[in-house]
Amino acid sequence: MRNVVIAGISGGIGSAFAEWLLEGDEAVQIWGLCRHPEAVRFPATDRKRIHLIPWDALALEPHGLAERLAEHLPADLTIDTVVYAAGILHGEALQPEKRIEDISPGALVHAFQVNAAAFPLLVQALLPWLRHRELKRVVAVSAKVGSISDNHLGGWYAYRASKAALNMLVRNLAIELPRRCRPVACVAVHPGTTRTRLSAPFEQSLTQLNVHDPADTAGNLIRVAQSLSDQDNGRFINWDGKDLPW
């Protein structure tokens, strides 16, 4: 992985992914998308290798995004890895629903925009940099709770449904991308429960689970990403490399 785009680089998993890559390879260059680039901190030594681009997943203007990317990405750049690590589970107007009465239209739309819709729009805007002959990895950080067949508990309507939508978008892209920019592996990955802002409100219930630190999760995801070939295109993969049910 040499030229990597990370959407959600300000998050626990996105930033750990970037740090892991920067430490592991002096030649790696990262283009990180986030809402507040000024608030993202990386060591001064890495600044030449990390390029931050303002981006809000709620502003769904694909043409505006393509133009902004063109301002930052050299026209002859070949992107080999795209990681979509933006996501939302809770926020001001969004709390994981426990029952039908908790469902709100605003929360549903918000979750779908950030967790699902902005992902294919980013891939659409990045297409000019994905048309080359080397393997491209397009990795959407999904969640096991987005599995339809594995849903035995219910609840978390907006989050579960938006991650299921993300998974469908991965499958659709996995069908079209090989026609447009072979060889490619477009996959959904479950990062494993990880200690980040997203999981913080659930700390107490997490005590029974195997919870990873962001650095461990980044290492696991990078191992999965590095092992990908075009034969893996369209898979839903757990952090340990095993298949997950859709």
Ligand X SMILES: NC(=O)c1ccc[n+]([C@@H]2O[C@H](COP(=O)([O-])OP(=O)(O)OC[C@H]3O[C@@H](n4cnc5c(N)ncnc54)[C@H](OP(=O)(O)O)[C@@H]3O)[C@@H](O)[C@H]2O)c1
User: Which range touches ligand X (CB under 6 A), out of 61-69, 150-158, 168-176, 190-198?
Assistant: 190-198
- Based on the shown chain and the rule CB under 6 A, indicate whether residue 143 belongs to the binding site for ligand X: yes
Question: Considering the complex, what minimum distance in angstroms separates the CB of residue 227 from ligand X?
Answer: 19
DSSP class of residue 74 equals -
- Based on the shown chain and the rule CB under 6 A, indicate whether residue 96 belongs to the binding site for ligand X: no
- Based on the shown chain and the rule CB under 6 A, indicate whether residue 191 belongs to the binding site for ligand X: yes
Residues within window 145-184 making contact with ligand X, judged by CB under 6 A:
none
Could you give the dihedral angle defined by the CA atoms of residues 10, 11, 14 and 20, in that order, rounded to the nearest 10 degrees? 80
Per-residue contact flags (x/-) with ligand X for residues 101 to 120, judged by CB under 6 A: -------------x------
Question: Considering the complex, what minimum distance in angstroms separates the CB of residue 76 from ligand X?
Answer: 27
Contact 89, 157 (CB under 8 A): no
3-class DSSP state of 104: coil
User: Which range touches ligand X (CB under 6 A), out of 8-16, 72-80, 94-102, 228-236?
Assistant: 8-16
Please give the C-alpha separations between residue 240 and each of 63, 65, 204, in angstroms, as whole numbers.
37, 33, 24
- Please name the helix (run of DSSP H) or strand (run of DSSP E) that holds residue 79, with its range, or none: none
For 146-241, strand residue ranges (E) read: 184-190, 236-238
- Based on the shown chain and the rule CB under 6 A, indicate whether residue 10 belongs to the binding site for ligand X: yes
Q: Which is nearer to ligand X, 114 or 181 (by Cβ)? A: 114
Contact 220, 239 (CB under 8 A): yes
Residues within window 211-240 making contact with ligand X, judged by CB under 6 A:
none
Structure token pair of residue 109: 């739309």
Residues within window 17-46 making contact with ligand X, judged by CB under 6 A:
34-36
Q: Which is nearer to ligand X, 133 or 152 (by Cβ)? A: 152
For the chain, strand residue ranges (E) read: 3-7, 29-34, 50-54, 81-84, 136-141, 184-190, 236-238
Cα–Cα distance, 11 to 40 (Å, whole number) = 9
Q: Which is nearer to ligand X, 147 or 193 (by Cβ)? A: 193
Question: Considering the complex, what minimum distance in angstroms separates the CB of residue 208 from ligand X?
Answer: 14
Residues within window 53-92 making contact with ligand X, judged by CB under 6 A:
55-58, 85-88
Cα–Cα distance, 94 to 103 (Å, whole number) = 9
Question: Considering the complex, what minimum distance in angstroms separates the CB of residue 95 from ligand X?
Answer: 14
Binding stretches for ligand X (CB under 6 A): 8, 10-14, 34-36, 55-58, 85-88, 114, 141, 143, 191, 193-194, 196-199
